[in-house]
């Protein structure tokens, strides 16, 4: 199910932008930030800054193409010099040999491409106190995502020898943690692990391990941004996303890396979903998601395989183009998310959730989404800070679309991109 889902118009020609199996989250970031409010206050500040890349020394910790894994570290200062934010980059998954080979030709599969473009720190990684008051002076890490399976492969897949691809996500995770511990993380007074999209899923997968590496740290928590992917039927009744995850699990050899208690009762692909993983996490956890996550709408609810109509395409491009029937379906999907969280997460110790009604995907690594959207009078950054520091309980569910006036919905129509049928 390799999906070429975005087309860019350029000089009268169509250039296919491959999502490399369910989406490039870097592209989602571009769409979200640079095409919504070009004159917005947060963009005028030009507050982002470049951070040098560190290549991992452990020889087995390699990207899909065999190049070294990588991360970025910006040192904290002042009162934040012993506090750490570790952020895991997102970027979809690859579920076939062909889609993984395509990823090798990008920063999602090779550090050679990471070296060609500097990384800018924004949102929760921003160093401006006015935009990031709780975490601005912390040590900040971005773990680059280049294994195609949310940092879980352990080189155990029989496909690794057959294909010349390297499925080493778990080894990358362990190697980067080892280096960060040596660079000061072991002395952290407080730490949070987070990630967006596929990096958010990785946060579910690695949260308790992260906590176990910091036995002397007083406060360790985790939260996922746009990473609560629903194990849900599409509009035709098919379990498209579960089938896709099944392919990921088998290609990368992930079954042995998933919770054993889950595997004993469920299919391995089901145990790759956050709604199962959260049952086995003991570390305090916050779920940050949109109830109208445009990526999930266009890949889980109304995927390309559902033979989506022109009206659905227009709706997914711009939620304001949705007709009442579409909104009814989207509200059903919203209710599925709310029900899943309420059933399995509501009473979990140290838990929190912040579900807004903005047509967005990931929301913590853009200054705009991090600091301006509000739900029940809390911005995303305020909600994360209140939950992390135990200033307030954060169990927030927004009203249904279009009730929230602070939302700036992604409008793919206003960009040069469109969803393919």
pLDDT tops 90 at residue 414: no
What is the average per-residue pLDDT within 190-205? 98
What tens digit of pLDDT does each residue of 216-266 get? Answer: 999 999 999 999 999 999 999 999 999 999 999 999 999 999 999 999 999
What tens digit of pLDDT does each residue of 356-403 get? Answer: 999 999 999 899 999 989 999 999 999 999 999 999 999 999 999 999
Q: Distance between CA atoms of 158 and 181, rounded to whole angstroms? A: 32
More confident residue, 28 or 206: 206
Sign of CA dihedral 39, 367, 198, 183: positive
> CA geometry: angle at 168 spanning 165 and 171, to 5°?
160
More confident residue, 280 or 421: 280
What is the average per-residue pLDDT within 207-224? 98
Give percent of the chain with pLDDT exceeding 90: 79
| pLDDT in the model for residue 19 | 36
* Minimum mean pLDDT range among 35-49, 134-148, 264-278, 281-295: 35-49
Q: Yes or no: say if 360 and 293 are a contact pair by the CB < 8 Å rule.
A: yes
Q: Which burial class, exposed, middle or buried, applies to 306 when counting CB atoms under 10 A from its CB (0-12, 13-18, 19+)?
A: middle
The 3-state secondary structure of 39-104 reads CCHHHHCCCCEEECEEECCCCCCECCCCCECEEEEECCCHHHCCEEEEEECCCCCCCCHHHHHHHC
Q: Distance between CA atoms of 222 and 224, rounded to whole angstroms? A: 7
pLDDT tops 90 at residue 404: yes
Q: Yes or no: say if 364 and 200 are a contact pair by the CB < 8 Å rule.
A: no
Strand, helix or coil for residue 24? coil
What is the average per-residue pLDDT within 320-349? 92
Reading the block at residue 34, the tokens are 């640079």
Q: Are strands 374-375 and 378-379 parallel, antiparallel or unpaired?
A: antiparallel
Q: Distance between CA atoms of 414 and 36, rounded to whole angstroms? A: 8
**Would you please indicate which residues are annotated as catalytic (active-site) residues?**
197, 293, 361
218 Cβ neighbours under 8 A, 6+ residues apart:
189, 190
Reading the block at residue 296, the tokens are 């999930």
Q: Distance between CA atoms of 204 and 194, rounded to whole angstroms? A: 9
Model confidence at 12, pLDDT cuts 50, 70, 90, reads very low
Topology, domain 6-419: Rossmann fold (3.40.50)
Q: Distance between CA atoms of 376 and 21, rounded to whole angstroms? A: 35
Q: Phi first, then psi: what are they for 201, rounded to 5°?
A: -60, -40
């Amino acid at each position: 199910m390799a999906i070429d889902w975005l087309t860019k118009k350029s000089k009268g020609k169509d250039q296919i932008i491959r999502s490399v199996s369910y989406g490039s989250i870097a592209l989602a970031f571009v769409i979200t930030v640079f095409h919504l409010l070009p004159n917005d206050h947060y963009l005028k500040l030009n507050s982002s800054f470049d951070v040098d890349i560190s290549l991992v020394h452990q020889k087995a910790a390699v990207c899909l193409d065999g190049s070294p894994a990588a991360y970025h570290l910006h040192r904290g200062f002042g009162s934040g010099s012993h506090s750490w934010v570790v952020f895991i980059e997102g970027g979809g998954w690859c579920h076939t040999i062909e889609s993984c080979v395509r990823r090798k030709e990008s920063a999602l599969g090779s550090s050679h491409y990471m070296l060609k473009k500097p990384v800018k720190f924004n949102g929760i990684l921003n160093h401006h106190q006015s935009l990031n008051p709780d975490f601005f002076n912390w040590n900040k890490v971005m773990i680059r995502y280049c294994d195609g399976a949310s940092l879980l492969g352990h080189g155990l897949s029989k496909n690794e020898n057959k294909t010349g691809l390297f499925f080493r996500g778990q080894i990358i995770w362990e190697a980067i943690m080892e280096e960060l511990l040596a660079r000061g993380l072991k002395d952290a007074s407080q730490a949070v692990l987070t990630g967006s999209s596929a990096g958010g899923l990785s946060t579910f997968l690695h949260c308790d391990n992260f906590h176990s590496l910091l036995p002397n740290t007083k406060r360790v928590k985790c939260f996922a941004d746009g990473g609560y992917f629903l194990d849900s039927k599409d509009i035709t009744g098919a379990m498209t996303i579960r089938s896709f995850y099944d392919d990921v699990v088998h290609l990368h050899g992930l079954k042995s890396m998933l919770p054993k208690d889950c595997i004993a009762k469920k299919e391995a692909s089901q145990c790759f979903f956050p709604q199962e993983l959260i049952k086995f996490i003991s570390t305090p956890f916050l779920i940050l998601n949109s109830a109208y996550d445009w990526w999930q709408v266009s890949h889980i609810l109304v995927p390309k395989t559902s033979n989506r109509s022109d009206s659905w395409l227009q709706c997914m491009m711009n939620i304001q183009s949705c007709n009442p029937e579409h909104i009814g379906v989207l509200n059903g999907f919203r209710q599925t998310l709310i029900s899943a969280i309420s059933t399995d997460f509501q009473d979990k110790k140290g838990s929190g959730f912040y579900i807004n009604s903005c047509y967005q995907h990931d929301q913590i690594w853009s200054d705009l989404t991090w600091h301006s959207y509000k739900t029940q009078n809390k911005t995303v950054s305020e909600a994360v800070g209140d939950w992390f520091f135990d200033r307030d309980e954060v169990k927030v569910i927004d009203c249904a679309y279009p009730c929230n006036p602070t939302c700036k919905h992604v409008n793919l129509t206003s960009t040069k991109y469109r969803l393919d049928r």
